[in-house]
Chains A and B, each alone.
Chain A
Amino acid sequence: MNSKSPTRASELAATFALFEIGSTSLFLIGGEVRQDAWLSMLIASVAGLLLLLIHLTLHRIEPQLDLFQIIQRYSGKFIGGLISLGFIGYFTLEASRNLRDIAEVTILTLLPGTPLWSVILIIVLVVTNTVRYGPETLFLMCIVLFPVIVIGYFVILILLAATGLLQFHFMLPILEHGWKPVFKAAIPGILSFPFGQVVVFLVFYPMAATRRGMNKMILLTYCGISLFLILFNQINILVLGPVLATNSSLPLLQAVQLIQMSEVLERIDPLFTLILFLSLGVKLATFLNAAVIGISRVIGIKHKPSSALIGVSTYFLAFMSPTYTEFIKVGREIAVKYWWPIFQILLPVLLLIVMIIRKQRKKGIN
């Protein structure tokens, strides 16, 4: 009677979509190729689709097991434990970066002058509280929030278009410096943020009850959300122009600030900031949930204490970079190129190879 109802594919897909929106629309992705950012993103998203297919194949081979269980089964207790810890560290680090993102945006836009530690503390408390209920509650929350966020973005899009802020000549010239820089920006930079981060869903796929429709739904969601992200990324450039968009720290918010309906609301960017927070929070909570599940799988601590543990460690990890500039530099230039691909591409591919070899061997024995 009191057992939780099984997670449905639609819930997972909504979470997936909000997760992908996450912090992506906060920044200008592919700023180094200026007006060709959309091409870079398109390339990266196609590469990400291949990566997602690899993840889904992993899930298909072992549909009942989550990421940590697969790792433990196929690479033994010791090495598996180490790799799992690596993944937990990766999820926690990503979470702490999201945390810092939200806090910095809060201080930049809503609460200037508030000490960083207090803002981060509130966010950690709110998000850890959500994590405490378990992933099922997060999925349900995403179903509730999904229309809110979609309508929010839709309204922004209409308002930007209606107030004549979109200037399409900023798209030109296309491919000013040829294909090479576009590809260079796409892989691995854009691939690992935002598209490769979906590796975290390997932890959640086994929860979806209706597995037959799930793969299709996830792939469709991925395609839809990629187009959505490319559209909104390009809107930054269309509104602000390539130079300003590249130099702005929060380009989309700056674009939204330009919307003025003096009769109704003077500035709607605080409201839009809240919508940004929702998707950022979903991303943060997803990473934390994955890390918490990892902790309980590897070390065997129960869900609630381990969410407290992960919450506290995320809180302190968020202070790793002393300034926002360094934080952005590390996050957007070093981590995406050298750290994250290990977990997003290298390990899943290795795992897949091991699984296929094992399967072949089993077949051979039989």
Chain B
Amino acid sequence: MFIKWMKQIFKPARSVTKRQKQHQGETPEKKDRHALPSSFEQNVGMLKSKFGKSPDFVLNELVNPKGLTLSAAVCYIDGLVETVLLPDLISAVIHLLDNEDSIQDAARSASEFRSMIPMGNVQSLSTEEEIMRAILAGNVLILLKNNDWMLGVGISGGVRRSVEEPTSQTVIRGPKEGFTEELSTNLSLLRRKLKTPALKFEQHIIGTYTQTRVVVAYLDGIARPEVVEEVNTRLKAIDTDSILESGYIEEFIQDAAITPFPTILNTERPDTLAGSLLDGMVGILVDGTPFVLIAPVTFFNFFHSSEDYYQRYDISTFLRAIRFVSFFVALLLPSLYIAVTTFQQEMIPTTLLITLTGQREGTPLPALFEALAMELIFEVIREAGVRMPRVIGPAISIVGALVLGQAAVQAGLVSSAMVIVVSFTAIANFVIPSINMASAVRLMRFVLMLLAGTFGLFGILAGLIPLLAHLVSLRSFGVNYFMPYAPYFKSNMKDLLLRVPWWAMKTRPNQKSGRNKFRQAPNQYPTSSDEAGVYQAEDKPQNKGN
């Protein structure tokens, strides 16, 4: 019922054709698709009318060293181009026009003129739409006399953040570089990891006003072609005025709209993206954000960290176990505490029961409300911690820890066992590597607490079963959300709860990867130095010398 109701709310917005038409009418694409006039003055006038009042718009009419006008101009937007290269470019153009005066009169073709500019990325532009897109993407426009084309020289630059360590996904061992807001930097970071022509990029431009470049990255032969095609068609179907972050894209293309669980992974780390591409997944890089989307993903991907693959396998396996335990703690601990203390006290050993009841004796609220109140308070503190200015940080921790924790217990409002339960739950929640999965768990926790408070253990089960049904029925680009576990693929279990050593991880994930299933050659079990005879050959003489 609820879902139908939600769908009804969402659907009309999509099917209102009038609004859609109105929206399409506004797009500059439709209006400006006409060719340029061949007059220099008209073209200058056109550019000035578009950008004339903007202070960052620069249009320089060129003059030769003798002071004669050349009837040519250089035009760019300040801050979007690399200022270091600009003098070289302008002097080159002046030199060219001054020496070969005949060039302009002869009205040579754009391609001929293009090859004379000493820069790498030069394109000829012949419609207003192309010109607008080029200048706004950081090209320098070169206008010439009596030509119905302009040249765009790609020397985009300007101030941008340099490659830094990612803040949201930190590792102890592993590369420290993270994606930036600049798409081309991000693509190069990925190229540096995967030096193969099989790494393919497909570009889309989405957003009427933002004109955001969105790049689909995948490894040809390893990714499933159906998935790549599906990602591309879903991206093409997006018709919106703005894409400011990859979160916009995620909500447009995810499989199930009504679910708290993420079906697309995001990462700031190039090594995570490279590893995912090698597993057959597809990356979606969006200009203007360091967060790259990865699809298709399974539930378990949200519990894996790229560091798992850099550390020793046994340690990684242990850490993964800790993460899954934390998942259950974060999801269930408060509700289990409520259920056991209010409904199934017989489960608690007598001594512990006496301690607990002794604590709860003075507290005025029933366990459910106590837990709900404490959880809510914690969520508020947490949200405050994210939003507030850094300077006020200590104040929040004093208020949070001392006033709301200790003082509440001393005043007899909350039992100290409840404080322990809530804090442990909160810490366990931070262990989940993916923030959006952790948020889903936070949400589910409240539902389960309410159920536990009304029906005890039975209520928890009545909450967990629909949760499981929902999770199992979810899909991410055709891949089951619970993939190697349900449906069960034995070979993929090597990289789920366990992380087997690299030489044993022979195949890629089943439903995700395409034709190329095998990662490496078999039989790469490391030989010990005794067997290989290394000790006798090299080390013995050294020992003698000592």
Contact = CB atoms under 8 A, between A and B. Distances in A.
B487 A11 contact: yes
B313 interface: no
Contact of A266 (B343, B346, B482, B487): B346
7 contacts: A111-B343, A130-B469, A137-B473, A143-B488, A270-B344, A271-B347, A281-B465
A22 to B, nearest CB: 15
A274 B461 contact: yes
B411 interface: no
A209 to B, nearest CB: 10
Interface of B: 226, 230, 255, 343-344, 346-350, 455-459, 461-462, 465-466, 468-469, 472-473, 475, 477-478, 480, 482, 485-488, 511
A346 interface: no
Given A110-B344, A129-B466, A141-B468, A10 B488 contact: yes
A140 B472 contact: yes
Given A5-B511, A110-B344, 12 more contacts: A2-B478, A11-B488, A130-B469, A140-B482, A140-B487, A141-B465, A144-B468, A144-B472, A144-B482, A145-B468, A267-B346, A267-B347
Contact of B456 (A10, A110, A144, A281): A110
A40 B511 CA distance: 46
B462 A126 contact: yes
B350 A110 contact: no
Given A1-B230, A111-B455, A270-B347, A144 B466 contact: no
A158 interface: no
Given A2-B475, A110-B457, A137-B472, A143 B485 contact: yes
Contact of A270 (B457, B472, B477): B457
Contacts of A137: 469, 472-473
Nearest to A132: B469
A82 to B, nearest CB: 33
A195 interface: no
Which one of B344, B347, B458 has the highest number of Cβ atoms from chain A below 10 Å of its Cβ? B458
Nearest to A122: B462
Contacts of B346: 266-267, 270
B462 A130 contact: no
A123 B466 CA distance: 11
A265 B465 contact: no
A10 B493 CA distance: 15
Interface residues of A, number: 37
Contacts of B468: 141, 144-145
B487 A265 contact: no
A79 B83 CA distance: 87
A302 B465 CA distance: 24
B295 to A, nearest CB: 12
Contacts of A126: 462, 465-466
A190 to B, nearest CB: 29
A337 interface: no
A165 interface: no
Contact of A133 (B469, B486, B488): B469
A262 interface: yes
B456 A266 contact: no
B473 A143 contact: no
Interface in A262-287: 262-268, 270-271, 273-274, 277-278, 281
Contacts of A10: 487-488
Interface string A222-247: 00000000000000000000000000
Contacts of B478: 1-2, 5
A278 B469 CA distance: 13
A106 to B, nearest CB: 6
A262 to B, nearest CB: 6
Contacts of A145: 468
A8 B511 CA distance: 14
A269 B136 CA distance: 69
A143 B226 contact: no
A262 B346 CA distance: 11
Which one of A140, A263, A281 has the highest number of Cβ atoms from chain B below 10 Å of its Cβ? A140
A133 B482 CA distance: 15
Contact of B485 (A111, A114, A119, A144): A144
Given A111-B456, A140-B486, A143-B488, A265 B349 contact: yes
A95 B430 CA distance: 42
